[in-house]
């Protein structure tokens, strides 16, 4: 009898919608919340265990199932639960995938099932109001200390501002929503709630690093920034659909990590630098938490004369790491070296993805600016 019930649960995985985790989309889930009626992956099941008042989980393959539980799973399933718990997700709200950090997945799960924000839209006010202010811990540019700073997001002014003192009249920085990006970077920042915010200052990328002790608070900030970007883009591109705009709200970096580089004459020694591939900007930093890049390289498309080559020219000297990459731009070649072959492959793939993508009209203007940089 127990085997039959377990087999019945396993058969439910064949139904449409049940072959992927209800929360992060990972394939082949083999856990289930028998109080919510959803099939989930091992990783998300751990988050469900932390909200036992809402969700109780079992292994599909290993645990014993009661008849009533099997019947409930059969009556629900991921597609039915999605219609119930995700009926009013705002288009700008970030829906995490299996590769996203623990915090984003946890707050998505809590928002859906515990707080029921997507069945009661009035509970979305913290990130959909168009205005938000509060205190975040911000890393000092020069001393690396995290200090409490007042932040104000105002959609009406199209800006995120922060103040060095809570009573300060003038903000220390004004970050235009138009050029803003935010991405969770817990490992880099050294805090599970660490958020990296970037904006353009004089057309150079400026990084700030923040966190909040409360996970909901920092994810609300993240979604508030996405909401402000969404409404800005709706005005900027009046004919565009939500599906066109959502990928532009915030972006994760294509690739990050250490490589060695040499200078433009290619006679200087190679130096280890932290590289970040952000859309078409390849930036390098002395330290991953630097506020400004030491340099930025625009990576255009193949049609515009950009290519990525495996290895370094035979005459190259001075690199300690063995796995070379040559980036060819219309102006010059950039010589880089990776420590391992797998890192080289990952960088080559990321760079070639960008080079293979045709350039948009506005990207030609960005390229022109790079060419005229002193």
**pLDDT per residue as tens digits for the range 223-247:** 999 999 999 999 999 999 999 999 9
Whole-number pLDDT of residue 256: 97
Whole-number pLDDT of residue 372: 58
Rounded CA-CA distance 312/192 in Å is 38
Of 33, 7, 66, 50, which Cα lies nearest the Cα of 41?
33
The count of other CB atoms within 10 Å of the CB of residue 356 is: 11
Per DSSP, the three-state class of 352 is: helix
Q: What is the mean pLDDT of each run of 10 residues along the chain (374 residues)?
A: 83 92 97 97 97 96 92 95 97 97 98 98 95 97 92 97 92 95 96 96 90 98 98 93 94 96 82 95 95 93 95 89 95 94 97 94 84 58
Task: Show contacts of 291-296: CB within 8 Å, 24+ apart.
Answer: 291/141, 291/206, 291/207, 291/208, 292/204, 292/205, 292/206, 292/207, 293/204, 293/205, 296/204, 296/205, 296/370
Rounded CA-CA distance 205/91 in Å is 27
Which H or E run contains 327? strand 323-328
Do 99 and 13 touch, CB atoms closer than 8 A? no
Alpha helix stretches (DSSP H) within the chain: 2-12, 42-49, 67-75, 77-85, 102-109, 125-128, 186-189, 215-236, 242-245, 341-355, 361-371
Whole-number pLDDT of residue 374: 44
Rounded CA-CA distance 89/111 in Å is 10
On the 0-12 / 13-18 / 19+ scale of CB atoms within 10 A, 82 is middle
Of 285, 295, 220, which Cα lies nearest the Cα of 256?
285
pTM comes to 0.93
Per DSSP, the three-state class of 88 is: coil
Whole-number pLDDT of residue 280: 93
The count of other CB atoms within 10 Å of the CB of residue 125 is: 10
């Amino acid at each position: 009898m127990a085997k039959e019930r377990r087999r019945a649960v396993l058969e439910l995985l064949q139904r449409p919608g049940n072959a992927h985790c209800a929360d992060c989309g990972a394939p082949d889930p083999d856990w289930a919340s028998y109080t919510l009626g959803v099939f989930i992956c091992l990783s998300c099941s751990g988050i469900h265990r932390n909200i036992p008042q809402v969700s109780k989980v079992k292994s599909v393959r290993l645990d014993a199932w009661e008849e009533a539980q099997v019947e409930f799973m059969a009556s629900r399933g991921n597609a039915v639960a999605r219609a119930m718990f995700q009926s009013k997700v705002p288009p700008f709200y970030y829906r995490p995938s299996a590769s996203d950090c623990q915090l984003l997945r946890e707050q998505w799960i809590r928002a859906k099932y515990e707080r029921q924000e997507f069945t009661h839209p009035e509970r979305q006010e913290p990130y959909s109001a168009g205005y938000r202010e509060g205190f975040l811990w911000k890393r000092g540019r020069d001393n690396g200390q995290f200090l409490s700073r007042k932040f104000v997001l105002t959609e009406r002014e199209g800006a995120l501002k922060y103040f060095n003192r809570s009573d300060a009249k003038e903000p220390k920085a004004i970050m235009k929503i138009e050029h803003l990006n935010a991405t969770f970077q817990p490992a880099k920042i050294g805090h599970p709630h660490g958020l990296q915010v970037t904006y353009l200052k004089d057309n150079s990328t400026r990084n700030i690093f923040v966190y909040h002790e409360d996970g909901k608070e920092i994810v609300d900030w993240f979604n508030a920034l996405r909401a402000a970007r969404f409404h800005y883009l709706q005005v900027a591109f009046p004919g565009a659909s939500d599906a066109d705009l959502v990928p532009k709200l915030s972006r994760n970096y294509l690739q990050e990590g250490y490589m060695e580089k040499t200078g433009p004459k290619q006679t200087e020694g190679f130096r280890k630098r932290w590289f970040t591939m952000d859309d078409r900007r390849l930036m390098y930093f002395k330290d991953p938490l630097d506020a400004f890049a030491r340099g930025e390289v625009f990576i255009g498309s193949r049609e515009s004369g950009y290519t990525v080559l495996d290895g370094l020219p035979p005459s190259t000297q001075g690199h300690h790491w063995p796995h070379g990459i040559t980036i060819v731009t219309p102006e010059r070649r950039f010589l880089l070296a990776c420590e391992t072959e797998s890192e080289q492959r990952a960088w080559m793939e990321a760079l070639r993805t960008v080079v293979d993508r045709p350039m948009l009209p506005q990207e030609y203007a960005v390229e022109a600016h790079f060419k005229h940089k002193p």
